Structure 1
Amino acid sequence: MAKSSPKQPFFGFRGGWLTFWITVACATDMTLFGYDQGVFSGVVVTQDFLKLHNLVGPTKTNLLATVTAIYDIGCFFGAVIAFTIGERLGRKKAILLGTVIMSIGTVIKVSSYSLQQMIVGRIVLGIGNGINTATAPIWQTETAQAKWRGKLVILEMAMNIAGFCLVNWINYGLSFVAGSVAWRFPLAFQFVFIFVLFATVPWLPESPRWLIAHGRVEEATDILACIEDKPTASPVVTAQLHEIQYSVNYEREHTIKWKDILLRRNKDTADTKTLRRLLLGANTQLMQQFGGINIMSYYMPTVLINSVGLTESMARLLSACNAVSYLIFSSAAVLLVERWGRRGLMLLSTAGQLLSFLVITILLRYAVDDKKEVLGSASIAFFFFYFISFGVGMLGVPWLYPTEVNSLPMRTKGAALATGTNWITNFIVVEITPIGIQNLGWRFWIVWTVTNALFLPVIYFFYPETANRKLEDMDAYFRENPSVIVIKDKDATMAKRPEKYVLQDQEDMQREEGIGSEKVLSAFNWGIHLAASQSITSQTTNPHEKRQPRGLTRPYEGNPTERDDYLRKYIEREKPPAAMPQDMPPRGGYEPVQYKRNLPAKGFRPGILLLGMGAVMSYGWYKLIGGMREANELGREKMWARINLIPLLQAEEDRDQVRRYLADQKREKELLGDNAKVYNSDRFVRPTFAVTPPPTTN
C-alpha cells in the first residue's frame, strides 16, 4: 500500500502564489469598502426608495442626510472594536467577524420596508466595514514579502476606487429600471464580495507577527517559510523571525498610555514629540474629509441634479464617467509619491481642489442668478478636475503619512487615532451636505473653497517631509526639538533624504567594534536588507559631542557569537553577491548614486504633464457633456413637439372630414331636388317605352 503524502498547507500555495491569494482577499475587502462608499449615491435619488421610506420632499432632507451618514458612525465603532478586541482575535478572525456582521447588515438593508430597518442595516453594515478596513491593510503588510509591500498597499487603494467606479456604472444601468429592484439590486450585489471573502480568508495564513506576539513561534516560522518559499531552517526565515521578535519585544517595553501622552508624563513622549506627531498624522485625515471628497462620493448625482440642473439619468452617467477618470489618475499617483514627496503631493492636490471649488462656486453663482445653463454645464468639468486633483495626492497620502511620522511604539495608536478621525469627520460632511445644498444653494461651495484655502498654509508651514526617510530618521528629527514651522529647515521639507542622515548611517557603521563581525553584518545587511546593524547601533548629532541614542537603542538580546555563526554559514552556503570579502561594500557603505532618467533635457515635467492631461480630459468631458446635453434637449423638443402636434393634426383632420361630410350632404340634397334640371333636361332623349300622353282635343 502506497504511503500517502503529507497534507500540504494552504492548498500547496507558497511564495508568490500565496501572497497573490492573500492580496485577493485584502483587495476584495478594499473593493467592498469603495463599493459601499458609492452605492448610496444612486439609492438616494431612486423614487421608489424615497417613497417606500417616506423620504420625499424638502422637509425630509435632514432625515435623509442622517440615514446616509449613520453608516460612518457604524464604521467608527467598528474601527474601535478592531483596535480593542481585534488584537486578541487575530487578523483572520477579525476579518471573518467583520464579514459576518456585514452580511447581516446587507440582509437587513436589502429586505428593508421601513426607515427604522434601513437605519439599523446601515449601522450594522458600518460596524462590519470598520472592522475589516482597520484589519485588512495590517494583515496584508504583515504577510507580504518586503519587496512587495509598498506596491500591494497602492494596489489596495486602486481597488478601493475600482469598487467606487463599479457601483457608479451599476447605478447608471439601473436608472432605466423601475420599481424596488433599482435600489435593492445594488445593495444585494455586495454579497459577491462577501462570498469571495468567505471563500478565501479561512484557509489563508495568519499574520506571523501576531502569532509571535502571542507565543506561537513554531507556527509563525512555518508561515514565514511558506511566504518566502524557503525551508524553515533557512537563514532568511530565521533572520526575519528574530527581527519580528525584537520588534514585538521593543513595542511591549516602550508602550505609552494615552493618559501619559496627553499629560506628557513620559520622558520619551517629550523627547520625540509624540503628541505633535500623533496630531500631524490624524490631521491629514481631517484635511482629506473637510477637503470635500465625500460630498462627491456620497452625493454626486444629487449634486448634479440639484446644483447643476441635470436629469437623473444624465447625472448617473456623468458620475460613472467621472469614476473612470478618478481611477486612472489615482493609479498614476504611484509615479509621483516618492519623486515629489508627501508634502509636494498634498500641496499639489489641495491647490487643485481649491481651484476646482473656486471655479465651481463662481460658475454656479452666475448660472443660478443669470439663468445661464451653459455655465452650469461648464462647472461639470471642474467637478471632474476636483476628483483628478484629489486622486493624485489626498487620496493615498493621509493613509500613508500617519504610519511614517509616528514612532514604532506609537504606530498602532497613531493608526487608530487617524482612522477614528477619518470616520468622525466623514460623518459630519455626509450629514451636512444635503442640508447645505438645499438651504445655501451655490453658497454651499464657498465653505469648501475656504477649507481648502486654509489647508494650504497648514501643509506648507507645519508638515515635515517623510518620503525617502527611515523611521529612525524621523525619531532623530523630532528628538532635535525642531521648530513647529518646518519651512525654516530645508532638510525637513526636501523630498530627497537629507545628507546628514546618510552621513550618520556611515558614522554608525564605522563605530562598530570588531572588524570581522562588522564585515559580516555589513554584508548581511547589504545582501538581504536586515536592519540589525541600524537597530543596535548609536549615532551622534555632532561627532565631537557625546553620543545620543538613535532609533532602537536596546542591544541584540540573542548571543552575538551565535548570530555571527549563522550569518557566516549563510554566506558560505547561499553564496550571495557579497559573499567574498573583496565583493563586500566598503566600510560605511557606498556613496549614494543619483541615477538620471533617460528624458529629454528640455520638456514637460511628469507632474505638469499629468495636470495637463487632467485639464485636457476635463475639457473633453465638458465638450462631450455639452454635446450630449444639446442632443438631449433637441430630443426633448422633438418629443414635446410630437406630443403637442398630434392633437392639432387630429383636430385639423376632423374639421376636414366634417367639411367633406357637409359638402356631401348638400350635394345629395341638390341631387334629390334636381331644381336646376341637371339630370332631367330636354337634352336627354325620351325612352321609346315611355307612355305617350293622350292627344289633346281642340
Structure 2
Amino acid sequence: MLDSYNARIAGNPYLVGTFACIGGALFGFDISSMSAILNNNAYAEQYGSPGPDAQGAIVASMPAGSLCGALIVSFLADRIGRKKSIILAGLIWIVGSILQCASVNRGMLVVGRVIAGVAVGIASAVVPVYQSELTPPAIRGRMVSFQQWAITWGILIQYFIGFGCSYLEGPKSFRIPWGLQMLPAVILSSGMLLFPESPRWLYDHHREEEALQLLADLHGKGNRSDPLVVLEYEEIKAQVEFERAEGAKSYMDLVKPGMIRRVHLGTSLQMWSQLSGMNIMMYYIVYVFEGAGITGRRANLVSSSINYVLNVVMTIPAIIFIDKWGRRPMLLVGMALMGTWLYLVGGLQARFGNWGLSESGDRIWLVEGNQAATNAIIACSYLFVCSFAITMGPVSWTYPAEIFPMRVRAKAVSFSTATNWTFNTALAFAVPPGLASIAWKTYFIFGTFNFAGWLHVFFMFPETAGRTLEEVEEIFAQGHKFAAWKIKREVGRRMAEQARESGKIDHKQHTYDHDGKVTPPQQTAV
C-alpha cells in the first residue's frame, strides 16, 4: 500500500518538486526570527543589549553554520542519499531551535544558531539537487524557483509571528517565535518519509530496479517500457558508470577541464546574490527604516512587514515566467534596478541625514523632520526588494543547479551554495558596524556591487533557459570560444523545434517544447 502511495506521489512532479522546499523556508524563518526582535527591549535585557559588533556576530553565527552544512552536503548526499539528507536537516534544525528557545545568554544563543545554520546549509544545497534530479527539464527552472519562494514565505510567516508576539511582555515575546520555528522542520522530516529518493542515487547504490520503477512513476505513468523512461534510465546508467570509471568522488573533479568555468559561474552568481544588498533589507530592515526616520517600534515593524509581503508576492511572476523570460535578462534587469535603488537610498540619506541618536540611545545616521525624504527612502527600499524577488532571487538558485553535469552536480552545487553562505556570514557581521560608522556610504558600496555584477553577467553568463541538458553541455564544450551575450534563449528552442518538425531527432536525446510537453525520442538518424 505504501508503495502504491509513493507511486502516486512520484507521478506528480509539482508535488515532488515543491514539498522539499520547506527546507528553504527554514532559512526564511531564521532571517525574520532575528529581524523582528532587534528592537525588542526584552531581548536586549536578556542578552545584555548587544551593540553593532555583538549583534552582527549573533546574526552571522547562523550563516557560519550554514557554510559548514553546505560543505558537507556532497558527502551526505552521496553517502546517505538526497532524501535522507533533507530529513537529517530537519532534525538538526529542531535541535538548534530548542537551544535558541531555551538560551539564557549570548553563548547558548550563538550555539543554537550555529546548529540551526548547519541544517539550513544542508537543506539549501541538497534541495535544488533533489529537485533537478526528479523533475522534468521543461519545468526545472520553475521547480527550483520554488526554493526561493519558500524562503520568502518563511521570512513572512515568522516575521508576523514575531510581530504578534511583540505585544507580549518579557522573554516569551521572543522565545515563542523561536520555539514555533521548529514546526516546519517536523513537517519536513516526517513528510519526506513518504517521498521517493533520487533515481540517480538509487542506481549509483546498486538499486537499479528501484531507479527504473521510480522513473516510470515520474515520467511514464508507471510504464517501465515508455521510451522516455528507457532513455532517462540509460542516460543515468551511462553517467554513473562513467563516474565509477573515472573515480569522481572528490572536490578535485571541479577543477578538471570543462568544469572550471562552470564552477566560476555557479559560485560567482551566489556571491553576487549576497553582494546585491538584500541582506541589509532582510536581516536589518528595522535599522534601515529607523535611520530613514520612522519613529515608534510598532510603526517600524509594520513598515518592515510590507517588505516581506512584497518579497513573497513579487516572487510569483518569476516562478511563472522564469522559463520564458530567460536567466540572463532577469539577472541583467534585476542588477541594474537594484543598483539604482540603492544609490537613491544612499543619496537621500547623505543629503537629508545627520548623526543622531536612536530611540534606544545608539548613535545612528538619521533623517529627521523631512517626511518626503523618509517616504522616498522607504519607497526605494520596497522597490529594491521587488527587483530582487522577481529577478536575482529565483535565478541564483536555478542557474547553478542546471549548468553542471549530473556526475558532479551534488559537489558543484554544494560548493556554490557554500560561497553563498561565506558571503552571507561576512555581510551579516559587517553590516551593523558599517551602518554605525560609514552610514549612507554602505548603500553606495552595495549599489556598486550590483553594477559590477551586471558587467560580469553580461560578458560571462550564457543563457540556459529553453535548452535540454545536452544543449547546455554543447555550450560549455566550446570552452572560452563562445561569447555569452550572443547565445540567445531562442537558439536552443529553435533547434528543438526544427528537429521536431523534421522528425530527425537523435535517438540519444529527447526534447521539450516551450510549454513543457515532452517529445519522445525518435529512432531515426540525424
Match of 1:98 in 2: 89
Higher relative contact order (CA 8 A, sep 6+): 2
Aligned counterpart for 1:230 among listed residues 205, 222, 230 = 222
Match of 1:422 in 2: 420
Structure-2 separation of matches of 1:495 and 1:100: 41
Q: Is 2:39 the counterpart of 1:45? A: yes
Other structure's SS at 1:44 match: coil
Match of 2:99 in 1: 108
What's the offset of the Cα at 1:432?
0.6
Q: Contact conserved, 1:10 with 1:205, CA < 8 A, in 2?
A: no
Q: Superposed, which structure 2 residues align to 1:116-195 within 5 Å?
A: 116-144=107-135, 149-195=140-186
Q: Contact conserved, 2:31 with 2:283, CA < 8 A, in 1?
A: yes
Structure-2 separation of matches of 1:235 and 1:23: 23
Match of 1:33 in 2: 27
Structure-2 separation of matches of 1:511 and 1:364: 59
Other structure's SS at 1:396 match: helix
Q: Is 2:319 the counterpart of 1:319? A: no
Match of 1:600 in 2: none
AA aligned to 2:266 is G
Deviations 1:493-541 (A, max 9, x none): x2312699569969998698xxxxx7xx89999995456x7xxxxxxxx
AA aligned to 2:281 is M
Instruction: Give ranges in structure 2 of 5+ residues lacking alignment.
Output: 355-366
Structure-2 separation of matches of 1:127 and 1:77: 6
Structure-2 separation of matches of 1:117 and 1:132: 23
What's the offset of the Cα at 1:443?
2.3
Structure-2 separation of matches of 1:435 and 1:101: 31
AA aligned to 1:448 is F
Q: Is 2:285 the counterpart of 1:300? A: yes
What's the offset of the Cα at 1:429?
1.0
Alpha-carbon distance change, 199 to 462 in structure 1, aligned in 2, over 3 angstroms:
closer
Aligned positions, number: 508
Q: If you compute each CA radius of gyration, which structure gives the higher value, 1 or 2? A: 1
Match of 1:249 in 2: 241
Q: Contact conserved, 2:94 with 2:116, CA < 8 A, in 1?
A: yes
Structure-1 separation of matches of 2:57 and 2:66: 14
Structure-2 separation of matches of 1:280 and 1:418: 9
Q: Contact conserved, 2:10 with 2:195, CA < 8 A, in 1?
A: no
What's the offset of the Cα at 1:212?
0.8
Alpha-carbon distance change, 224 to 469 in structure 1, aligned in 2, over 3 angstroms:
closer
Alpha-carbon distance change, 523 to 410 in structure 1, aligned in 2, over 3 angstroms:
closer
Alpha-carbon distance change, 483 to 297 in structure 1, aligned in 2, over 3 angstroms:
same
Q: Superposed, which structure 2 residues align to 1:379-458 within 5 Å?
A: 379-458=377-456
Instruction: Give ranges in structure 1 of 5+ residues lacking alignment.
Output: 1-6, 513-517, 534-563, 565-585, 589-698
Structure-2 separation of matches of 1:305 and 1:353: 21
Aligned counterpart for 2:295 among listed residues 282, 306, 310 = 310
What's the offset of the Cα at 1:277?
2.1
Structure-2 separation of matches of 1:307 and 1:482: 46
What's the offset of the Cα at 1:128?
1.6
Structure-2 separation of matches of 1:67 and 1:89: 32
Structure-1 separation of matches of 2:286 and 2:456: 32
Structure-1 separation of matches of 2:273 and 2:432: 19
Instruction: Using structure 1 for the length normalisation, give the TM-score.
Output: 0.66
What's the offset of the Cα at 1:16?
6.4
Match of 1:204 in 2: 195
Structure-1 separation of matches of 2:145 and 2:303: 26
Alpha-carbon distance change, 244 to 437 in structure 1, aligned in 2, over 3 angstroms:
same
RMSD: 3.3
Match of 1:282 in 2: 267
Structure-1 separation of matches of 2:123 and 2:226: 33
Deviations 1:104-140 (A, max 9, x none): 1111100011111001101111112212222233333
Other structure's SS at 1:177 match: coil
What's the offset of the Cα at 1:306?
3.5
AA aligned to 2:429 is E
Structure-1 separation of matches of 2:8 and 2:136: 12
What's the offset of the Cα at 1:354?
1.0
Deviations 1:63-115 (A, max 9, x none): 11101101001011111121113311112221222222111111110001111
Structure-1 separation of matches of 2:502 and 2:70: 40
Alpha-carbon distance change, 321 to 145 in structure 1, aligned in 2, over 3 angstroms:
same
Alpha-carbon distance change, 467 to 143 in structure 1, aligned in 2, over 3 angstroms:
closer
